[in-house]
Structure 1
């Protein structure tokens, strides 16, 4: 196993288009998994790019942060991903960017900063169903471990690929049901969008 992938090695996975489009940014991990035939990514998914000035590389205007996903070689669809959004509204952007990499059978988790802390929803958008949850434990990693009943101490012995394998395996088996709402209903229910830069030192 290696934690670096070439574009050629990604070409036969559902992550290929995202990689070629420069959307898989700031990787904590991008490589082959311990599960044979599976690749994984942890980092940032760019949803909307900033205008480019000459050859200057600028950070994206909008991202799904703390993004983690796995893909199987030879398969068109992502079986699992999880990520963080500042606003529920951006679920639409995630669905549009991932596009045909999503399927009705995939397990997709979005932790949103501006939904009520006591709520959990299932939202169908196009063909995919998203599990939408509040962010309580500050990181997607901690949240997904709690949701999937995975013990952090059990994962400490594993390398980064092993941790992501364990999370993805549990996520793919997830079968709980939440209140089902439409995307439009979610827009009505969501709270104000927090300014992520407030209270930061200048």
Structure 2
């Protein structure tokens, strides 16, 4: 980057509203990536806030966790976003919180705790298509690199921003023809939310 090039800020991107609403939490990355004019975020997006007492800051009730997204300065929408929710039933809230920020031509993956481990769905909410996939005891990052057949050796020398660019560039335009179901069908099929820490050593 030359000294004449301007570093992109979150205020110039589609993430600005979520930032102003204090929905962006636990950021591993929240800053410019390696691509000109591109801003990246890895962290959580709050879906529902707890009631706050006075000035006490409480963590959200629940969030889209493990979010991977990049946005372009000056563009009003998010063209790609990946994240994890504990329950399929939160999907309408995902669409509501991100309303106006997603586009029918975008690529959106939601990994979910309580759907069948062999299930892969396309779910359209308010005109936006989400690829909904199972995620049990893994991470969003590992699930995405596996889904896209990305060899970790191809990205191990990149920094956090470079890795995010690489993986999301590979994911943009994903077109697998998974069965399309409605939110109501997904809720009818979903199981109980599993405690992901149940069998893990303390």
TM-score (norm 2): 0.92
In the alignment, the residues of structure 2 paired with residue 76 and residue 129 of structure 1 have an alpha-carbon distance, to the nearest angstrom, of 18
Which residue number corresponds to residue 174 of structure 1? 174
Which residue number corresponds to residue 126 of structure 2? 126
What RMSD in Å do the two structures reach over aligned CA positions? Answer: 1.8
Describe how 1:28-177 pairs up with structure 2 within 5 A. 28-136=28-136, 138-177=138-177
Report the secondary structure of 1:166's partner residue: helix
TM-score (norm 1): 0.92
Q: 1:61 to 1:197 in 2, by over 3 A?
A: farther
Report the secondary structure of 2:184's partner residue: helix
Query: C-alpha displacement at 1:173, in angstroms?
Result: 2.9
In the alignment, the residues of structure 1 paired with residue 128 and residue 22 of structure 2 have an alpha-carbon distance, to the nearest angstrom, of 23
1:188 aligns with 2:198: no
In the alignment, the residues of structure 1 paired with residue 197 and residue 53 of structure 2 have an alpha-carbon distance, to the nearest angstrom, of 24
2:136–2:196 contact (8 Å) kept in structure 1: no
In the alignment, the residues of structure 1 paired with residue 47 and residue 35 of structure 2 have an alpha-carbon distance, to the nearest angstrom, of 28
Stretch moving more, 171-180 or 95-104 = 171-180
Report the secondary structure of 2:59's partner residue: coil
Between the two proteins, the alignment pairs up a number of residues equal to 196
Structure 1 outlier segments of 4+, above 3 Å? 195-202
Structure 1, unmatched stretches of 5+, are: 2-7
Q: 1:93-135: per-residue Cα shift (whole Å, max 9, x none)?
A: 1111111001101100011010001110000000210000001
